[in-house]
């Protein structure tokens, strides 16, 4: 004897008839109506006071009754199908990631529509995610039953980040890209640049003992002479031995103060000359990432379908709230570094892929949300660690993002995106020069890291402009139609800003270090979460639904009025009698 359970009647009927549940319910309703009609006819036929049926059942009335019967079956079928419709299965990797994320939210008793939700594009691996976020929050455990999931979740007390690994055109393009380890060798450096670099190095070498003495505590050097005691004392080191001693010259004599200021200004001029010629300097053996020109139609369709599945799930689970509150797009700095003969070509390739994903998300979700662009420097995180440490010592605010925000209410035209890219690079230069303008800061041993930041950001200029124009600029056709009065809205991304950040130290997971300048970017993204707007297509669909609902109410009112009128006409003789 078999121990298998006996299939239910519904399963046996479905296996024999091969029909859906909605079709079965509609068939039962149709048969039930026929049975009721037959019963009514039977009761009517045995009534001794009946009249001839043929006087009432004309051909026209018979046709109308059959039409009503068929409509009842169709409405029943559609209603049951909509009611019983489950979330589409979609891709197995998207389904595995979604299931893990819902389990994460369930473990922390948080609903998906109870917390701001942000999508992250461009973070390729779990390793990169941990480098950006450190040990903060509650990352979801990776599913092993169905392979690596296409999406990953990171939950904290004020936001939920959903990382889209390799879904969408942009994610698939990143997976197709390869690293080019055979970078171009550095070109010859101009003589005056080499001279400025040598002078800066000599100055750093000659001032390094004094800097070391400044960084040490007074208790460590009790035998210093009077000359060293009259030197500048460090400011706000906070007892951190790795902190940079930003010193201030003492004002014992005007001559000593003038000499210190003159020396600092001369060193600043030499560093500024080095920065001005950074375009002609090529970093040695720096790897770049080769981006393919395009993807195959099969891979593009598959990646877009996966992104469509994710959008459908977000829209269904977060209804009636906004599906998302914003989008964070990460771009690897190696992909926009100028290394070829056509400036800006790599930025255009990446920008087109990002724009296709943003347009699809906007169309699928029916809402335009703020888009925050971030340039990720993965090769030299220590440079941004040093810059963040130095800025915290000279600025009043320690959590200011490194970049330039954009006014969300403004239309992102091509000129505005070009200006945003230029302003971002200029902002980085100003922040670095702000550190250099502090007296005696040019004598620190880690200054070469700040100069490298300047050199790197200048190499992004052309590709960064192309990236922002291709990914975020409004369509010129929509702009012209809007100005002419043909279209009231421009379906363009809501740009929140362009920033630069670097992941934390990946080698030491024990300290849980986060990305440098990353938390300030996330804080800015959370501040912009209310700058949402429904798309024009969604507004038009809402207006159509409103008109349809109003029409149904009017028709229902008319039918009720006719029913009451007919009822009054039937009951009037009885009432008057």
Mean pLDDT calculated for residue range 545-571: 88
C-alpha dist (Å) from residue 242 to 238, 339, 497: 10, 35, 32
pLDDT score of 38: 84
pLDDT, tens digit (0-9, with 9 covering 90-100), for 125-161? 888 888 888 755 445 444 434 456 788 888 888 889 9
**Mean pLDDT of the chain, nearest integer:** 73
Mean pLDDT calculated for residue range 224-248: 38
Query: 358: pLDDT confidence band, cut at 50, 70 and 90?
Result: very high
3 vs 568: which has the higher pLDDT: 568
Which residues touch 128 (CB under 8 Å, ≥6 apart)?
378, 503
Mean pLDDT calculated for residue range 403-417: 87
Mean pLDDT calculated for residue range 238-255: 42
Mean pLDDT calculated for residue range 471-486: 61
- For the cut 50, the answer to whether the pLDDT of residue 454 exceeds it is yes
Distant-in-sequence contacts of 34-43, Cβ < 8 A, 24+ apart: 34/69
Query: 215: pLDDT confidence band, cut at 50, 70 and 90?
Result: very low
Mean pLDDT calculated for residue range 343-356: 84
- For the cut 80, the answer to whether the pLDDT of residue 230 exceeds it is no
CA angle 506, 508, 509 (to 5 degrees): 85
The DSSP annotation for 275-337 comes to HHTGGG---TT--EEE--S---HHHHHHHHHHHHHHHHHHHHHSTTS-S-SEEEEEEEGGGTS
Query: 529: pLDDT confidence band, cut at 50, 70 and 90?
Result: confident
Mode of pairing for the β-strands spanning 370-376 and 326-332: parallel
pLDDT score of 287: 52
Closest CA to 376 of 431, 432, 335, 339: 335
Burial-class residue 111 by CB neighbours within 10 Å (0-12, 13-18, 19+).
exposed
Mean pLDDT calculated for residue range 529-557: 88
C-alpha dist (Å) from residue 95 to 100, 164, 327, 362, 454: 9, 13, 21, 21, 43
Mean pLDDT calculated for residue range 99-118: 87
pLDDT, tens digit (0-9, with 9 covering 90-100), for 173-204? 887 765 444 334 334 344 444 444 443 444 44
pLDDT score of 273: 58
The domain limits of the chain are 1-85, 95-178+295-430+447-534, 537-577
pLDDT, tens digit (0-9, with 9 covering 90-100), for 376-393? 888 888 888 888 888 887
pLDDT score of 553: 92
Mean pLDDT calculated for residue range 327-354: 80
- For the cut 90, the answer to whether the pLDDT of residue 267 exceeds it is no
- For the cut 80, the answer to whether the pLDDT of residue 74 exceeds it is yes
343 vs 277: which has the higher pLDDT: 343
Residue 442 is classified by DSSP as G
pLDDT score of 8: 66
Query: 211: pLDDT confidence band, cut at 50, 70 and 90?
Result: very low
């Amino acid at each position: 004897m078999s121990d298998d359970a006996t299939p239910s009647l519904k399963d046996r009927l479905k296996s024999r008839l091969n029909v859906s549940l909605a079709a079965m319910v509609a068939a039962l309703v149709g048969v039930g109506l026929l049975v009721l009609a037959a019963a009514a006819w039977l009761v009517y036929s045995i009534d001794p006071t009946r009249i001839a049926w043929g006087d009432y059942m004309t051909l026209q009335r018979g046709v109308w009754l059959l039409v009503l019967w068929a409509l009842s079956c169709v409405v029943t079928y559609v209603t049951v199908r909509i009611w019983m419709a489950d979330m589409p299965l979609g891709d197995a990797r998207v389904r595995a990631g979604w299931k893990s994320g819902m389990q994460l939210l369930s473990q922390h008793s948080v609903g998906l529509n109870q917390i701001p939700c942000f999508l992250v594009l461009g973070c390729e691996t779990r390793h990169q995610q941990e480098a950006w976020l450190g040990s903060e929050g509650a990352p979801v455990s990776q599913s092993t039953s169905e392979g690596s999931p296409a999406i990953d979740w990171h939950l904290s007390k004020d936001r939920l980040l959903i990382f889209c690994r390799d879904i969408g055109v942009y994610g698939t393009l990143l997976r197709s890209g390869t690293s080019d380890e055979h970078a171009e060798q550095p070109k010859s450096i101009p003589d005056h640049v080499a001279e400025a670099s040598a002078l800066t190095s000599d100055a750093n070498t000659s001032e390094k003992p004094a800097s070391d003495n400044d960084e040490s505590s007074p208790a460590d050097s009790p035998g210093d002479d009077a000359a060293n005691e009259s030197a500048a004392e460090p400011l706000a080191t906070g007892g951190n031995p790795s902190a940079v001693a930003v010193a201030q010259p003492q004002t014992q004599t005007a001559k000593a103060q003038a000499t210190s200021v003159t020396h600092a200004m001369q060193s600043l001029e030499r560093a500024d000359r080095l920065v001005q010629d950074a375009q002609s300097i090529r970093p040695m053996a720096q790897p770049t990432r080769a981006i393919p020109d395009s993807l195959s139609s099969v891979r593009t369709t598959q990646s877009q379908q996966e992104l469509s599945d994710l959008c459908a799930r977000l829209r269904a689970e977060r209804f009636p709230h906004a599906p998302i509150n914003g989008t964070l797009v990460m771009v690897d700095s190696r992909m926009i570094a100028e290394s070829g003969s056509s400036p800006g070509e790599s930025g255009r390739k990446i920008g087109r892929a990002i724009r296709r994903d943003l347009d699809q998300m906007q169309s699928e979700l029916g809402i335009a949300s703020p888009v925050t662009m971030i340039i990720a420097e993965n090769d030299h995180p220590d440079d941004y660690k040093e810059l963040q440490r130095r800025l915290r010592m000279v600025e009043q605010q320690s959590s200011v993002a490194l970049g330039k925000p954009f006014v969300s209410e403004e239309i992102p035209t091509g000129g505005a995106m070009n200006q945003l890219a230029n302003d971002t690079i200029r902002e980085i230069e100003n922040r670095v020069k702000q550190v250099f303008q502090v007296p005696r800061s040019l004598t620190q041993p880690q200054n070469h890291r700040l100069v490298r930041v300047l050199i790197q950001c200048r190499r992004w200029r052309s590709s960064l402009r192309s990236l922002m124009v291709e990914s975020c600029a409004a369509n010129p056709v929509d702009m012209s139609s809007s100005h002419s009065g043909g279209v009231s809205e421009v379906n363009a991304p809501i740009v929140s800003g362009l920033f630069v950040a670097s992941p934390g130290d990946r080698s030491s997971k024990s300290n849980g270090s986060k990305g440098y300048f990353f938390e300030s970017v996330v804080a800015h993204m959370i501040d912009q979460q209310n700058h949402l707007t429904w798309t024009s297509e969604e507004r038009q669909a809402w207006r159509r639904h409103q008109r349809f609902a109003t029409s149904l109410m009017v028709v229902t009112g008319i039918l009720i009025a006719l029913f009451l009128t007919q009822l009054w006409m039937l009951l009037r003789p009885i009432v008057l009698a």
